[in-house]
Each structure stands twice: as structure tokens, then as C-alpha cells.
Amino acid sequence: MPQLIDGKWVNDDVAANEMKNGVFHREPTKFRDWLTADGGPGPEGQRGVKAEPGRFQLFISRLCPWASRTFMMRNLKGLGQLMPVSIAAGAMTDNGWEYPEPQDTGEGSPAISYQHQLYTLSDPHYSGKVSVPALWDRKEGRIVNNESADIIRMLNTAFDGLTGNRLDFYPEPLRAEIDRWNALIYNTVNNGVYKAGFAKTQSAYDAAVTALFETLDKLEAHLGEHRYVAGEFMTEADIRLFVTLIRFDVAYVGAFKCNLRRIEDYPNLAAYARELYQWDGIAETVSITDIKAGYYSIAHVNPTRIVPKGPLIDFTRPHDRVRLSGKGVWRR
């Protein structure tokens, strides 16, 4: 996988750079400014940028779960008319994330065809991995933030005064519970599938797969008694979990050897994934074609790059998640 070194695009293996003793460690993101309603600083004193209609643009791929969760939050918060989205092709090329046609980036900035061009427009001497998503400032011609966890948190509130959409996916009373689940889901599920898929030793793979399925088992039991991860309301914890569940059977089971069980083998998790898929605006963020093409094109996990035809999963079929009257639990 290529990367930028001092602003120059080189065919170096970033994935290898993220391996330590056979274990995958994700490289930290580097652009961390914060969108706020008034341009004030972020929650940890980050440089603030004022949320304005039409000023910001999301650059994503529907292959990438981290990027897809920002697309989900944009849609759930009703930002379709305020924030355009540029969608890269599913499989990466020698040029990294590539767009099917040149993407406008705003007055004063050139159109781009590759994600790495956004990075060098923002920092001509940038070194490191080039990732999606990127939240682009069309006014200043730079990346504001390329950390998906930050972006979903910003989009949750920054534009509320402009849209009137007050859906809150990180409500104050549930934050401790959301944070607790987020930490577990990130480490063992979202990143856990990558730890398994990119492992270079049997012990690293065994540890990752064991932790992954222990958490899936825990979530299966939990979702038998709760509608959503943090309780009775959909929160960002559900957004974070969904993007891995929707990719699991079609990509991670095969390409990443996460094959102890499928999500379809978990009644509650499978029904829950279908329910979220059927929320308004969520199906648009999912492309099974891009997901399969992208993961099965990773040469070091699938040297032949043959993309399987299956499995065929109908995420539109009824989810049947209904409260059992008077018992406070859910069944499918």
C-alpha cells in the first residue's frame, strides 16, 4: 500500500509499517481541528472552525468502515444539502484512493483525482498514510479533520442550529455507557477484524479472533435484552458497530479469516444489522460491491485477488425486532 513521504507519493507498504511483532497497530490520524457552531475551540482545546452550509465536503469510500460511519452521521443529521460527499472507487490502485472523475474542491483549489492530493494541498510536506475519510474545508482549501471518531462527534451537533435536526447520538446521560461500549467495540470488533486479517503470526491471529468472537457473543446476548447498544435509543455506539457488522459476512469471514461464525448465525446481531440498514439514509452508505472488491483486492491477504460471488444477504428483509410486552426485552 503506497503512502506519502515528504509530500511525494511512493509505493511503500504502509501496512508493513503498522506491524509490530506480527501484530497490527493502526497509524494515528494527523489532522484534528474541530467544527463548532460558532467557530470556538473543540472539547479538548482544538482549533475551532465555524460550521457553515456548503463550506465543508466529505471525501470517503464506501469500502472503508471508518469513512462510512461519517457518511452515516451526515445522512442521519440531515446534512445532505449542506455538505457534499465525494466517493472514491472501492478498490485502491497504485495511486491509493482514486475518484472515478475529478472532484471539485472549492474556489481557489484545484480539482483532485486522488485522495493523496488533498493531503499535499493541506500540507506539502505531509508524510504518512493517506486515508479516508477526510473532512475538507472548501473555503480554506485544507483538511480540517481526518479522524472518523472526531468527525461523527462534530457532525452530531455542529450544524443543529442550521438544520433544526436535534437528533443526538451522544446524549449526556448515556455518554459513560456509550464510551464504555465504544472502547470495547473499537478494540476487539472494528479494529479486531483488521488485527486478525493482517496478523503475521499464528498467536497474533488467535488472540484477535478469540477477542473478536467473545465480544460478538457478548453483543448477541446484550441485544437480546436491549434495542440498541447503549439502551433504548440509537447512539454513535450503534453507528460504530454497524459498519463492521455489514461487512462481516461478505468480507471479513473470507478475506480476514474471521470465520468461527457468521453474523447471520447470530439471530439478534443479524436482525439488529438489518434494522439499522433500513433506517432512512443508511442503505445509501453501503455498497456490498465496493466492500467485496476492496477487501478481496488486498494482495497480501488474497494473492489471487479473485472476488467471490457470494454470500447473498438480503438486508432489506424484515428484522422483526419487537418489544416483548411488559418484559422490557426484545425478540426477533
Q: Give the catalytic positions in this structure.
A: 64, 194
CA distance 254 to 25: 21
C-alpha cell at 161: 442550529
Please, are residues 246 and 286 in contact by the beta-carbon 8 Å criterion? Answer: yes
Q: Which residues pair with 322 in a beta bridge?
A: 331
CA distance 264 to 262: 5
Q: Cα torsion for 282, 287, 291, 294, to the nearest 10°? A: -130
Handedness of CA 129, 237, 54, 162 (dihedral sign): negative
Please, are residues 272 and 220 in contact by the beta-carbon 8 Å criterion? Answer: no
* Amino acid letter, 279: W
Please, are residues 298 and 251 in contact by the beta-carbon 8 Å criterion? Answer: no
Summary count for the chain: helices (H), strands (E): 12, 14
CA distance 147 to 30: 8
Q: Which residues pair with 87 in a beta bridge?
A: 60
Cis omega before residue 267 (within 30°)? no
